[in-house]
């Protein structure tokens, strides 16, 4: 069960860190609660508070790599704030939500724009070599790929539940395409920590899942 109080505290710290020094803004808690409600919507199985917490935890590990860790943390809060499994524009809608909410919450325009850019970057997870904020967010978001076998299996099962409305053959084909796309990347992870600690395990997990998907579907009962 997610610790809502701890998550609220983490949001408040990130928001206050992104505000201009000495600038007071509105109470952060309503913004935190709006985001927490979004992350608890019933259609979610993987993109839940547990995923948000994991991404924030990984950003804490990687924060020294980022140019602006608090901006990266706010991007984590917003990156799946709008999430409907049957829609393709979730990242864009999440970025626009950030562009509306953050200026109202007291975040300067340049930092708001950076949060929105980072949210949009999670479409491709392909940050540039000099994009340190993007590298930290993308590595934190993809760290699940390097999870131990049981956690990785739970992740793939949760993704399948989110796409319960997609027939098995279509899901297997689509998921396999995603896995091939990831495996084709020169590097899944861009930070030194991610490269050293997560890359090999993630590639093993992805290849194993792809092999499973290539097996014949079980006959219908």
User: Rounded to two decimals, what is the model's pTM?
Assistant: 0.94
Query: What pLDDT sits at residue 22?
Result: 78
108 occurs within a structural domain? yes
CATH number of the domain within which 96 lies:
1.10.1300.10
170 occurs within a structural domain? yes
115 occurs within a structural domain? yes
**Distances from the Cα of 196 to the Cα of 127, 128, 138, 186, 202, angstroms:** 18, 19, 15, 14, 11
- DSSP 8-state class, residue 220: P
Q: Are 82 and 38 in contact (CB under 8 A)?
A: yes
The number of folded domains in the chain is: 1
192 occurs within a structural domain? yes
39 occurs within a structural domain? yes
Query: What pLDDT sits at residue 20?
Result: 83
Query: What pLDDT sits at residue 219?
Result: 58
DSSP percent split of the chain into helix, strand, coil, nearest 5: 65, 0, 35
Q: Is 205 exposed, middle or buried (0-12, 13-18, 19+ CB in 10 A)?
A: buried
- Provide the domain limits for residue 158: 4-214
Residue-wise pLDDT for 139-185, tens only, equals 999 999 999 999 999 999 999 999 999 999 999 999 999 999 999 98
Query: What pLDDT sits at residue 108?
Result: 96
Residues of the chain with pLDDT under 50: 221
Measure the CA–CA gap between 81 and 62, rounded to whole angstroms.
22
202 occurs within a structural domain? yes
219 occurs within a structural domain? no
- DSSP 8-state class, residue 20: P
Query: What pLDDT sits at residue 220?
Result: 54
220 occurs within a structural domain? no
């Amino acid at each position: 069960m997610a610790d809502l109080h701890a998550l609220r505290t983490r949001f408040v710290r990130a928001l206050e860190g992104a505000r201009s020094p000495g600038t007071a803004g509105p109470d952060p808690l309503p913004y935190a609660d709006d985001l927490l409600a979004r992350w608890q919507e019933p259609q979610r199985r993987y993109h839940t508070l547990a995923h948000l917490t994991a991404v924030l935890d990984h950003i804490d590990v990687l924060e020294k790599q980022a140019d602006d860790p608090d901006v990266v943390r706010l991007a984590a809060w917003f990156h799946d704030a709008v999430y409907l499994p049957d829609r393709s524009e979730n990242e864009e809608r999440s970025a626009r939500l950030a562009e509306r909410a953050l200026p109202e919450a007291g975040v300067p325009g340049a930092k708001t724009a950076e949060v929105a850019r980072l949210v949009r970057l999670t479409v491709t997870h392909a940050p540039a070599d000099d994009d340190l904020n993007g590298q930290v967010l993308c590595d934190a978001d993809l760290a699940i790929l390097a999870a131990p076998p049981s956690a990785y299996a739970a992740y793939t099962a949760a993704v399948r539940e989110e796409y319960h409305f997609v027939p098995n053959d279509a899901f297997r084909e689509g998921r396999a395409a995603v896995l091939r796309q990831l495996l084709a990347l020169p590097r899944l992870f861009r930070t030194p920590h991610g490269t050293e600690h997560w890359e090999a395990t993630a590639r093993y997990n992805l290849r194993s899942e792809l092999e499973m998907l290539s097996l014949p579907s079980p006959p219908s009962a």
